[in-house]
Protein backbone atom coordinates (compact mmCIF):
# COMPACT_ATOMS: atom_id res chain seq x y z
CA UNK A 1 0.00 0.00 0.00
CA UNK A 2 1.31 3.41 -0.91
CA UNK A 3 2.62 5.28 2.12
CA UNK A 4 3.58 2.15 4.07
CA UNK A 5 7.08 2.13 5.57
CA UNK A 6 8.67 -1.03 4.13
CA UNK A 7 12.15 -0.47 5.52
CA UNK A 8 13.15 1.55 8.56
CA UNK A 9 16.70 2.14 9.71
CA UNK A 10 17.27 3.74 13.12
CA UNK A 11 20.59 4.72 14.66
CA UNK A 12 22.42 2.95 11.83
CA UNK A 13 26.13 3.12 12.63
CA UNK A 14 29.25 1.57 11.12
CA UNK A 15 32.79 2.12 12.30
CA UNK A 16 35.92 1.15 10.42
CA UNK A 17 38.57 1.35 13.11
CA UNK A 18 38.55 5.00 14.14
CA UNK A 19 36.44 6.14 11.19
CA UNK A 20 32.68 6.40 11.65
CA UNK A 21 31.58 5.78 8.06
CA UNK A 22 27.86 5.86 8.95
CA UNK A 23 26.87 7.68 12.11
CA UNK A 24 23.45 7.12 13.69
CA UNK A 25 21.53 7.42 10.45
CA UNK A 26 17.75 7.17 10.52
CA UNK A 27 15.95 6.46 7.26
CA UNK A 28 12.46 5.38 6.21
CA UNK A 29 11.75 3.85 2.83
CA UNK A 30 8.10 4.16 1.93
CA UNK A 31 6.12 2.34 -0.74
CA UNK A 32 5.26 4.77 -3.53
CA UNK A 33 8.37 6.89 -3.01
CA UNK A 34 11.82 7.32 -4.45
CA UNK A 35 14.03 8.31 -1.52
CA UNK A 36 17.31 9.74 -2.79
CA UNK A 37 20.42 9.65 -0.62
CA UNK A 38 22.98 12.21 -1.72
CA UNK A 39 26.36 13.32 -0.44
CA UNK A 40 29.89 13.87 -1.65
CA UNK A 41 32.37 11.01 -2.26
CA UNK A 42 33.03 9.04 0.90
CA UNK A 43 29.92 10.39 2.69
CA UNK A 44 28.87 6.83 3.56
CA UNK A 45 26.10 6.21 1.01
CA UNK A 46 27.29 2.81 -0.24
CA UNK A 47 28.13 1.75 3.31
CA UNK A 48 24.58 2.65 4.33
CA UNK A 49 23.20 0.45 1.54
CA UNK A 50 25.52 -2.39 2.60
CA UNK A 51 24.28 -2.07 6.17
CA UNK A 52 20.60 -2.01 5.19
CA UNK A 53 21.03 -4.97 2.82
CA UNK A 54 22.93 -7.01 5.41
CA UNK A 55 26.16 -7.19 3.43
CA UNK A 56 28.11 -5.88 6.39
CA UNK A 57 27.11 -5.95 10.06
CA UNK A 58 26.03 -2.84 11.94
CA UNK A 59 28.21 -1.44 14.72
CA UNK A 60 24.96 -0.13 16.23
CA UNK A 61 21.37 0.50 15.22
CA UNK A 62 18.33 -1.37 14.02
CA UNK A 63 16.91 -2.40 10.65
CA UNK A 64 13.20 -3.12 10.31
CA UNK A 65 12.02 -4.82 7.16
CA UNK A 66 8.27 -5.02 6.48
CA UNK A 67 7.63 -4.41 10.17
CA UNK A 68 9.99 -7.12 11.42
CA UNK A 69 13.28 -6.61 13.24
CA UNK A 70 15.82 -7.71 10.61
CA UNK A 71 18.92 -6.37 12.35
CA UNK A 72 20.39 -9.81 12.98
CA UNK A 73 19.28 -11.29 9.65
CA UNK A 74 21.87 -12.33 7.07
CA UNK A 75 21.89 -10.76 3.62
CA UNK A 76 20.23 -13.82 1.99
CA UNK A 77 17.49 -13.80 4.60
CA UNK A 78 16.83 -10.11 4.02
CA UNK A 79 16.78 -10.78 0.26
CA UNK A 80 14.25 -13.55 0.74
CA UNK A 81 12.11 -11.25 2.83
CA UNK A 82 11.97 -8.75 -0.05
CA UNK A 83 15.09 -6.60 0.01
CA UNK A 84 16.75 -6.14 -3.38
CA UNK A 85 19.85 -4.16 -4.23
CA UNK A 86 22.06 -3.18 -7.12
CA UNK A 87 25.75 -2.38 -6.92
CA UNK A 88 27.81 0.69 -7.75
CA UNK A 89 29.93 -1.49 -10.06
CA UNK A 90 28.49 -3.82 -12.68
CA UNK A 91 27.84 -7.32 -11.41
CA UNK A 92 26.46 -8.91 -14.58
CA UNK A 93 27.87 -12.05 -16.20
CA UNK A 94 28.92 -10.72 -19.63
CA UNK A 95 29.08 -14.15 -21.31
CA UNK A 96 25.51 -15.02 -20.37
CA UNK A 97 22.42 -13.66 -22.06
CA UNK A 98 20.21 -11.00 -20.52
CA UNK A 99 17.61 -13.66 -19.74
CA UNK A 100 20.18 -15.98 -18.14
CA UNK A 101 21.49 -13.17 -15.96
CA UNK A 102 17.96 -12.47 -14.74
CA UNK A 103 17.27 -16.15 -14.16
CA UNK A 104 20.48 -16.56 -12.16
CA UNK A 105 19.46 -13.61 -10.02
CA UNK A 106 16.02 -15.16 -9.47
CA UNK A 107 17.59 -18.48 -8.50
CA UNK A 108 20.00 -16.80 -6.11
CA UNK A 109 16.99 -15.70 -4.09
CA UNK A 110 16.18 -19.36 -3.53
CA UNK A 111 19.86 -20.01 -2.79
CA UNK A 112 20.08 -22.46 -5.67
CA UNK A 113 22.62 -20.51 -7.68
CA UNK A 114 25.32 -23.06 -7.03
CA UNK A 115 23.23 -25.70 -8.79
CA UNK A 116 22.16 -23.52 -11.68
CA UNK A 117 23.60 -25.87 -14.31
CA UNK A 118 21.34 -28.66 -13.03
CA UNK A 119 18.26 -26.68 -12.17
CA UNK A 120 18.19 -23.86 -14.66
CA UNK A 121 16.12 -25.57 -17.32
CA UNK A 122 13.69 -26.99 -14.84
CA UNK A 123 13.17 -24.11 -12.49
CA UNK A 124 9.89 -22.73 -13.81
CA UNK A 125 9.57 -20.16 -11.03
CA UNK A 126 12.89 -18.58 -11.89
CA UNK A 127 12.02 -18.52 -15.58
CA UNK A 128 8.77 -16.70 -14.87
CA UNK A 129 10.49 -14.28 -12.47
CA UNK A 130 13.23 -13.57 -15.03
CA UNK A 131 10.74 -12.97 -17.83
CA UNK A 132 8.67 -10.64 -15.69
CA UNK A 133 11.74 -8.73 -14.52
CA UNK A 134 12.95 -8.20 -18.11
CA UNK A 135 9.48 -6.99 -19.06
CA UNK A 136 9.32 -4.51 -16.17
CA UNK A 137 12.81 -3.21 -16.92
CA UNK A 138 12.04 -2.81 -20.63
CA UNK A 139 14.51 -5.47 -21.74
CA UNK A 140 12.16 -8.11 -23.17
CA UNK A 141 13.45 -7.62 -26.71
CA UNK A 142 17.04 -8.16 -25.59
CA UNK A 143 16.56 -11.42 -23.67
CA UNK A 144 18.76 -13.49 -25.96
CA UNK A 145 21.50 -10.85 -26.29
CA UNK A 146 24.82 -11.50 -24.52
CA UNK A 147 24.92 -9.16 -21.53
CA UNK A 148 28.47 -8.13 -22.42
CA UNK A 149 27.23 -6.79 -25.77
CA UNK A 150 24.74 -4.35 -24.20
CA UNK A 151 25.26 -0.59 -24.15
CA UNK A 152 26.29 0.95 -20.83
CA UNK A 153 22.75 2.15 -20.12
CA UNK A 154 21.26 -1.23 -20.97
CA UNK A 155 23.72 -2.89 -18.59
CA UNK A 156 22.51 -0.65 -15.78
CA UNK A 157 18.92 -1.51 -16.74
CA UNK A 158 19.89 -5.17 -16.57
CA UNK A 159 21.22 -4.59 -13.04
CA UNK A 160 17.80 -3.30 -12.06
CA UNK A 161 16.12 -6.21 -13.87
CA UNK A 162 18.33 -8.65 -11.93
CA UNK A 163 17.29 -6.94 -8.75
CA UNK A 164 13.60 -7.20 -9.79
CA UNK A 165 14.02 -10.90 -10.60
CA UNK A 166 14.39 -11.52 -6.86
CA UNK A 167 10.83 -10.16 -6.41
CA UNK A 168 11.79 -7.45 -3.92
CA UNK A 169 9.50 -4.97 -2.17
CA UNK A 170 12.38 -2.63 -1.39
CA UNK A 171 15.01 -1.60 -3.96
CA UNK A 172 18.36 -0.20 -2.87
CA UNK A 173 20.00 1.24 -5.98
CA UNK A 174 23.60 2.44 -5.80
CA UNK A 175 24.23 4.94 -8.59
CA UNK A 176 22.15 3.23 -11.29
CA UNK A 177 22.54 6.33 -13.50
CA UNK A 178 26.34 6.54 -13.34
CA UNK A 179 27.90 7.11 -16.75
CA UNK A 180 24.57 7.33 -18.55
CA UNK A 181 23.69 9.68 -21.38
CA UNK A 182 20.58 11.88 -21.27
CA UNK A 183 18.36 9.41 -23.09
CA UNK A 184 19.45 6.47 -20.95
CA UNK A 185 18.91 8.55 -17.81
CA UNK A 186 15.38 9.42 -18.97
CA UNK A 187 14.62 5.75 -19.53
CA UNK A 188 15.92 4.76 -16.09
CA UNK A 189 14.01 7.54 -14.34
CA UNK A 190 10.82 6.49 -16.15
CA UNK A 191 11.48 2.94 -14.96
CA UNK A 192 11.86 4.07 -11.33
CA UNK A 193 8.68 6.13 -11.63
CA UNK A 194 6.83 3.06 -12.92
CA UNK A 195 8.25 0.83 -10.18
CA UNK A 196 7.62 3.02 -7.19
CA UNK A 197 3.89 2.32 -6.81
CA UNK A 198 4.73 -1.28 -5.89
CA UNK A 199 8.10 -0.68 -4.24
CA UNK A 200 9.99 1.50 -1.83
CA UNK A 201 13.11 2.76 -3.61
CA UNK A 202 16.36 4.10 -2.19
CA UNK A 203 18.34 5.89 -4.90
CA UNK A 204 21.96 6.89 -4.35
CA UNK A 205 22.89 9.36 -7.05
CA UNK A 206 25.36 12.17 -7.78
CA UNK A 207 23.46 13.72 -10.70
CA UNK A 208 21.49 16.44 -8.88
CA UNK A 209 19.27 17.15 -11.87
CA UNK A 210 18.17 13.51 -11.92
CA UNK A 211 17.79 13.45 -8.13
CA UNK A 212 15.49 16.46 -8.10
CA UNK A 213 13.47 15.02 -10.99
CA UNK A 214 13.03 11.58 -9.47
CA UNK A 215 12.99 11.96 -5.71
CA UNK A 216 9.96 12.31 -3.48
CA UNK A 217 12.23 12.63 -0.46
CA UNK A 218 15.92 13.42 -0.15
CA UNK A 219 18.39 12.62 2.61
CA UNK A 220 21.73 14.41 2.60
CA UNK A 221 24.79 12.81 4.17
CA UNK A 222 28.05 14.47 5.12
CA UNK A 223 30.87 12.49 6.74
CA UNK A 224 28.54 9.65 7.69
CA UNK A 225 25.83 11.82 9.26
CA UNK A 226 22.49 12.99 7.95
CA UNK A 227 22.46 16.78 7.78
CA UNK A 228 19.01 17.13 6.20
CA UNK A 229 16.10 14.98 5.14
CA UNK A 230 12.75 15.91 3.67
CA UNK A 231 10.88 16.96 0.56
CA UNK A 232 13.09 18.11 -2.34
CA UNK A 233 12.17 21.80 -1.97
CA UNK A 234 12.83 21.74 1.74
CA UNK A 235 16.25 20.14 1.21
CA UNK A 236 17.16 22.49 -1.63
CA UNK A 237 16.55 25.50 0.60
CA UNK A 238 18.20 24.08 3.72
CA UNK A 239 21.06 26.38 4.77
CA UNK A 240 23.18 23.46 6.03
CA UNK A 241 22.82 21.67 2.70
CA UNK A 242 23.70 24.82 0.79
CA UNK A 243 26.77 25.28 2.97
CA UNK A 244 27.85 21.67 2.45
CA UNK A 245 27.48 22.07 -1.30
CA UNK A 246 29.00 25.55 -1.40
CA UNK A 247 30.74 26.12 -4.70
CA UNK A 248 28.66 23.39 -6.27
CA UNK A 249 26.19 24.94 -8.68
CA UNK A 250 24.28 21.70 -9.10
CA UNK A 251 21.58 22.62 -6.62
CA UNK A 252 20.94 25.83 -8.53
CA UNK A 253 20.78 24.15 -11.91
CA UNK A 254 18.48 21.46 -10.54
CA UNK A 255 15.99 24.12 -9.46
N1 LIG B 1 35.78 -1.86 3.79
C2 LIG B 1 36.14 -0.66 4.27
N3 LIG B 1 37.16 -0.53 5.14
C4 LIG B 1 37.52 0.68 5.63
N5 LIG B 1 36.93 1.84 5.29
C6 LIG B 1 35.91 1.78 4.41
C7 LIG B 1 35.46 0.55 3.85
N8 LIG B 1 34.42 0.80 3.00
C9 LIG B 1 34.25 2.13 3.04
N10 LIG B 1 35.13 2.72 3.86
C11 LIG B 1 35.22 4.16 4.15
O12 LIG B 1 33.95 4.59 4.59
C13 LIG B 1 33.66 5.90 4.10
C14 LIG B 1 32.36 5.86 3.34
O15 LIG B 1 32.54 5.16 2.11
P16 LIG B 1 31.36 4.88 1.10
O17 LIG B 1 31.90 3.99 0.04
O18 LIG B 1 30.17 4.41 1.86
O19 LIG B 1 31.07 6.32 0.53
P20 LIG B 1 30.08 6.78 -0.64
O21 LIG B 1 29.23 7.87 -0.07
O22 LIG B 1 29.39 5.61 -1.23
O23 LIG B 1 31.09 7.44 -1.69
P24 LIG B 1 31.03 7.47 -3.32
O25 LIG B 1 30.10 8.60 -3.67
O26 LIG B 1 32.43 7.77 -3.70
O27 LIG B 1 30.56 6.13 -3.80
C28 LIG B 1 34.87 6.30 3.25
O29 LIG B 1 35.71 7.10 4.04
C30 LIG B 1 35.52 4.99 2.90
O31 LIG B 1 36.89 5.15 2.70
MG1 LIG C 1 29.37 4.76 -3.08
Q: pLDDT grade, residue 173 (50/70/90)? A: very high
Q: How much is the pLDDT for 112?
A: 46
Second-level CATH architecture of 1-82+168-255: 3-Layer(aba) Sandwich (3.40)
In contact, 155 and 184? CB cutoff 8 Å: no
- Mean pLDDT across 106-134: 71
Q: Sort strands 83-86 and 68-69 into parallel, antiparallel or unpaired.
A: unpaired
| 174 Cα–ligand 2 center, Å | 7
Q: pLDDT grade, residue 119 (50/70/90)? A: low
Residue nearest to atom 28 of ligand 1 (CA): 42
Residue nearest to atom 16 of ligand 1 (CA): 44
In contact, 180 and 210? CB cutoff 8 Å: no
- Mean pLDDT across 155-171: 93
Ligand nearest to the CA of 87: 2
> For residues 2 and 26, which has the higher predicted lDDT (pLDDT)?
26
In contact, 3 and 197? CB cutoff 8 Å: no
Q: How much is the pLDDT for 113?
A: 46
Please indicate whether residue 46, judged by its CB atom, sits closer than 6 Å to ligand 1: yes
Q: pLDDT grade, residue 29 (50/70/90)? A: very high
Q: pLDDT grade, residue 123 (50/70/90)? A: low
For 192-229, how does the pLDDT look when each residue is reduced to its tens digit (9 = 90+)?
999 999 999 999 999 999 999 999 999 999 999 999 99
What mean pLDDT value characterizes the chain?
90
In contact, 211 and 47? CB cutoff 8 Å: no
Please indicate whether residue 147, judged by its CB atom, sits closer than 6 Å to ligand 1: no
Listed by start position, the domains of the chain span 1-82+168-255, 92-167
Which distant-in-sequence residues (6+ apart) come within 8 Å of 13 by Cβ?
Answer: 20, 22, 23, 24, 25, 58, 59, 60, 61
For 76-100, how does the pLDDT look when each residue is reduced to its tens digit (9 = 90+)?
899 989 999 887 777 899 999 999 9
Please indicate whether residue 21, judged by its CB atom, sits closer than 6 Å to ligand 1: yes
Amino acid sequence: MSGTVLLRGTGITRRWGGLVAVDEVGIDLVQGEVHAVIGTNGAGKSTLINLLSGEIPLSAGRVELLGQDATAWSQPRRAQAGLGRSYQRNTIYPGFTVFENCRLAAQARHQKAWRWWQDAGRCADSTVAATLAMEKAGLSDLGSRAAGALSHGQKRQLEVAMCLATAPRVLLLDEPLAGMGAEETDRMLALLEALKSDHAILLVEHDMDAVFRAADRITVMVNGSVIASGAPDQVRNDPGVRAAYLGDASLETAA
